[in-house]
């Protein structure tokens, strides 16, 4: 498959490589032309931006390959926390502004992010190989489209999985470093509950039944999060489409209420999130199945530059400096494979 990837990169043709969580099989979908296909319910690998621009590498007409994943596991590096005081102050100021807005009753939660730009030219396949080796429990992907961009990531967050009318989604929020974690604070419990409530509210019109787990702690690389599994039955693929439309973007990556949080993000984050906090993955219209993930712990590859996108949930109890360090810790997930 590596030869095929190299060829596609040379010819500047779109492709995606991916590995499902806890699996060692590498899949590749290789488009034969360089059109941008809009996602309109055809089968393939979907790639949707934060502001809901929907693309797909369609299965039809593309080459599909699979093989055991056996790229070299090159060194894993530890990175030192490294940031400028300016960046820190800038982010803390925006968090403070969000706190004022929350206090004034404009919204309950907003997820604010940073775009960390690193001047660096990377070797794409080797870097993806390190990412795939390092985060086996995540959904790992490398997406390339000459007219859309090049992204890779290792996301711990499922947007939705549907098979035989059974669906599963998660509410994921709250973050700690694994090595210093003791227990969840009321702030974290509250910010995750906002996500769970929102998902349940938006599901009920579309599902036949729903089951909700207790919140539990999950590992994601060097971090831990608080997670609830929400599952049940849907009637048809139309329900699945409506659920996705209603869920995205969830308060795990946007905030609550959604419109107010979106407005704060667009007025205060000084860049386009593009595909960060969008969603991506498999859509099979014929089988009415989907396996989609939220695009987190990801980076965008430019010619001589990498953009790492990381965010964190702000609620009334947030502390601006702690939130800044949370984004730094999240960024280590990607920095350590560069």
Which residues of the shown chain bind ligand ISJ in the complex (CB under 6 A)? 111, 113, 157, 172-175, 225, 252-253, 296-297, 310-313, 330
Angle, vertex CA 140, rays to CA 8 and CA 91, nearest 5: 110
Whichever of 237 and 252 has its CB closer to ligand ISJ, that residue is 252
Residue among 10 and 214 whose Cβ is closer to ligand ISJ: 214
Instruction: State in angstroms the smallest separation of the CB of 113 from ligand ISJ.
Output: 6
Q: Which residues contact 175 (CB under 8 A, 6 or more apart)?
A: 188, 223, 224, 225, 312, 326, 329, 330
The smaller minimum CB distance to ligand ISJ, of residues 173 and 237, is found at 173
Residues 301, 274: contact at Cβ < 8 Å? no
CB of 11 to ligand ISJ, least distance (A): 33
Q: Which tokens hold the place of 42?
A: 């055809």
Are 156 and 172 in contact by the 8 Å Cβ rule? The answer is: yes
CB 297 → ligand ISJ: shortest distance, Å?
A: 6
Neighbours of 197 (CB within 10 A): 13
Name which of 59 and 318 has its Cβ closer to ligand ISJ.
318
Least distance to ligand ISJ, CB of residue 327, Å:
7
Closest distance between ligand ISJ and the C-beta of residue 30, in Å?
29
Q: Which is nearer to ligand ISJ, 169 or 239 (CB)?
A: 169
Alpha carbon dihedral 247, 245, 213, 166, in 10-degree steps, equals: -170
Least gap, CB of 14 to ligand ISJ (angstroms): 25
- Pick 111 or 160: Cβ nearer ligand ISJ: 111
Q: Measured from the CB of residue 225, what is the shortest distance to ligand ISJ in angstroms?
A: 5
> Which of 203, 253 has the CB closer to ligand ISJ?
253
């Amino acid at each position: 498959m590596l030869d095929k990837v190299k060829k596609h990169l040379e010819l500047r043709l779109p492709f995606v490589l991916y590995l499902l969580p806890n699996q060692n099989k590498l899949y590749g979908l290789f488009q034969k032309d360089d059109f941008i296909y809009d996602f309109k319910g055809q089968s393939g690998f979907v790639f949707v931006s934060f502001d809901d621009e929907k693309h797909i590498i369609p299965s039809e007409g593309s080459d599909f390959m699979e093989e055991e994943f056996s790229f070299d596991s090159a060194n894993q590096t530890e990175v030192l926390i490294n940031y400028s005081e300016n960046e820190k102050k800038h982010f803390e100021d925006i968090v403070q502004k969000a706190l004022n807005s929350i206090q004034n009753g404009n919204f309950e939660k907003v997820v604010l992010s940073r775009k960390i730009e690193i001047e660096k030219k990377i070797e794409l396949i080797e870097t993806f190989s390190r990412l795939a080796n390092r985060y086996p429990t995540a959904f790992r992907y490398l997406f390339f489209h000459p007219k859309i961009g090049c992204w890779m990531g290792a996301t711990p967050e499922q947007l939705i999985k549907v098979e035989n009318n059974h669906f599963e989604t998660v509410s994921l929020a709250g973050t700690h470093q694994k090595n210093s974690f003791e227990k969840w604070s009321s702030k974290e419990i509250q910010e995750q509950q906002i996500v769970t409530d929102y998902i349940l509210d938006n599901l009920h019109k579309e599902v036949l039944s729903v089951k909700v787990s207790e919140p539990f702690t999950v590992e994601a690389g060097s971090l831990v999060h608080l997670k609830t599994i929400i599952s049940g039955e849907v009637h048809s693929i139309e329900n699945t489409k409506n659920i996705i439309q209603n869920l995205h973007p969830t308060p795990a990556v946007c905030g609550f209420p959604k419109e107010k949080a979106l407005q704060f993000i667009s007025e205060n984050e000084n860049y386009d999130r593009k595909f960060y906090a969008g969603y991506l993955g498999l859509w099979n219209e014929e089988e009415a199945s989907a396996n989609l993930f939220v695009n987190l712990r990801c980076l965008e590859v430019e010619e001589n530059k990498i953009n790492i996108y990381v965010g964190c949930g702000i609620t009334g109890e947030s502390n601006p400096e702690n939130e800044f360090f949370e984004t730094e810790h999240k960024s280590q997930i990607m920095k350590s494979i560069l």
